[in-house]
Amino acid sequence: MSIPTAAAAEPVIRVAGLHKAYGETRAVDGVSFEVQAGTIFGLLGPNGAGKTTTVEVLEGLREPDRGEVRVLGVDAVRDPDRLKPRIGVSLQTAALYPKLTVVEVLDLFRGFYHLGGRSTDELISLMDLGEKRTTRTQNLSGGQRQRLSVALALVNDPELVFLDEPTTGMDPAARRALWDVVLGLRSAGRTVLLTTHYLEEAEVLCDRVAIMDHGHILEEGTVEELVSRRFKERAVRFDTIDGLPEERLARMPGVASVKHEDGDTLLYTRDVAGTIGAVLDAAEGLGVEPANLGVRRATLEDVFLDLTGRALRD
């Protein structure tokens, strides 16, 4: 007898061999990935990578040239109307009925669905739009508009939520508040696909990420996998200690290389605990304590730089 596992369940999203060109531009050029239920998946990449085009095909809003697209068990290309009631969509460039107020737009969207879902007040409070209830959407700031757009995506309490660059234009406080909303969706068993060009956001939120550039997925996996695939070492850093020679540092357990910069010593090591132990011993021998001792691992930003030869944001 076999026990069914989560991995054996049909994924919430399955994309295989997706292609979409606009004239000569191959916006999406052979994209495949899967998203499991109850997870947050991040599609990362610079402007023009093909993220929005991919997401719009998954939402049933745009027809691909070819490729298989199954979302919640539905063929998103043939049956988009079966899909739409079950998903939530926060579009990157949402048309928000400029003359209507926040409450009116939410009520309007709630009217598109039959029963259930979330109340307008609940959504206003969730997205912290209380002070803007009676403001026309044309007078909202970029960040407020984004928050409203996310609120609209949640009107029908969807199983799967698509958020296309949800925090662009938000200040840090609003960004963090949105992160809590996204994590709350996962806690409630929902699935989230978000696109972003903020790698820190992906590190905080995403169970798995795909890095996209020029219509291709370059890497896919957990952040930890992506980082450790490329960077085997972590950096142990501390304020440079006088009288601790380079040769001694280089012989510490696991240390692959030593770097000094701006008064910092950086030891790139495969044995963080062993290296820290040796640093503490050496410092004690000199009668000092290492100052500002810390460990830094490579980040998604380092992965992106290594993959593409450029930073994600200029």
Ligand X SMILES: Nc1ncnc2c1ncn2[C@@H]1O[C@H](COP(=O)(O)OP(=O)(O)O)[C@@H](O)[C@H]1O
The residues that touch ligand X, with contacts defined as CB under 6 A, are 22, 25, 27, 45, 47-53
- Identity at 105, one-letter amino acid code: V
Three-state SS for 254?
coil
Count CA atoms within 13 Å of residue 194 on its CB side.
31
> Which of ligand X, Mg ion, none does 49 bind, CB closer than 5 to 8 A by kind?
ligand X
> Which of Mg ion, ligand X, none does 234 bind, CB closer than 5 to 8 A by kind?
none
> Which of Mg ion, ligand X, none does 153 bind, CB closer than 5 to 8 A by kind?
none
The window from 87-95, 174-182, 219-227, 243-251 that contacts Mg ion (CB under 5 A) reads 87-95
> Distance between CA atoms of 96 and 38, rounded to whole angstroms?
29
* Nearer residue to Mg ion within complex by CB, 45 or 60: 45
Please work out the total of residues on this chain that contact Mg ion, with binding judged by CB under 5 A. Answer: 3
Tokens of 106: 């939410």
* Nearer residue to ligand X within complex by CB, 31 or 267: 31
> Distance between CA atoms of 143 and 277, rounded to whole angstroms?
47
Residue facing Mg ion at closest CB distance = 52
Using CB under 5 A, pick the residue from 27, 40, 52, 198 that binds Mg ion.
Answer: 52
* Nearer residue to Mg ion within complex by CB, 56 or 233: 56
> Which of Mg ion, ligand X, none does 22 bind, CB closer than 5 to 8 A by kind?
ligand X
> Distance between CA atoms of 198 and 78, rounded to whole angstroms?
33
Both ends of the chain: CA-CA distance in Å? Answer: 55
> Distance between CA atoms of 201 and 179, rounded to whole angstroms?
8
Query: In the chain, where do the E strands start and end?
Result: 13-22, 25-35, 40-44, 66-71, 74-75, 87-90, 160-164, 191-196, 208-213, 216-221, 234-239, 255-261, 264-269, 294-296
> Which of Mg ion, ligand X, none does 45 bind, CB closer than 5 to 8 A by kind?
ligand X
* Nearer residue to Mg ion within complex by CB, 51 or 70: 51
- Residue 36 CB burial class (10 angstroms; 0-12, 13-18, ≥19): middle
* Nearer residue to ligand X within complex by CB, 50 or 166: 50
> Which of Mg ion, ligand X, none does 154 bind, CB closer than 5 to 8 A by kind?
none
Rounded to a whole number of angstroms, the minimum distance from the CB of residue 14 to ligand X is 20
> Which of Mg ion, ligand X, none does 161 bind, CB closer than 5 to 8 A by kind?
none
Tokens of 223: 């952040």
* Nearer residue to ligand X within complex by CB, 38 or 166: 166
- The pairing of strands 255-261 and 13-22 is unpaired
Three-state SS for 146?
helix
The window from 22-30, 91-99, 254-262, 297-305 that contacts Mg ion (CB under 5 A) reads 91-99
* Nearer residue to ligand X within complex by CB, 88 or 215: 215
Rounded to a whole number of angstroms, the minimum distance from the CB of residue 283 to Mg ion is 50
* Nearer residue to Mg ion within complex by CB, 47 or 138: 47
Rounded to a whole number of angstroms, the minimum distance from the CB of residue 51 to Mg ion is 5
Rounded to a whole number of angstroms, the minimum distance from the CB of residue 24 to ligand X is 10
Query: DSSP assignment of 158-184, as one string?
Result: -SEEEEESTTTT--HHHHHHHHHHHHH
Tokens of 271: 């044995």
Tokens of 71: 């979302």
Rounded to a whole number of angstroms, the minimum distance from the CB of residue 25 to ligand X is 5
What are the residues facing 256 on neighbouring strands? none
Query: Which residues contribute to the site for Mg ion (CB under 5 A)?
Result: 51-52, 92
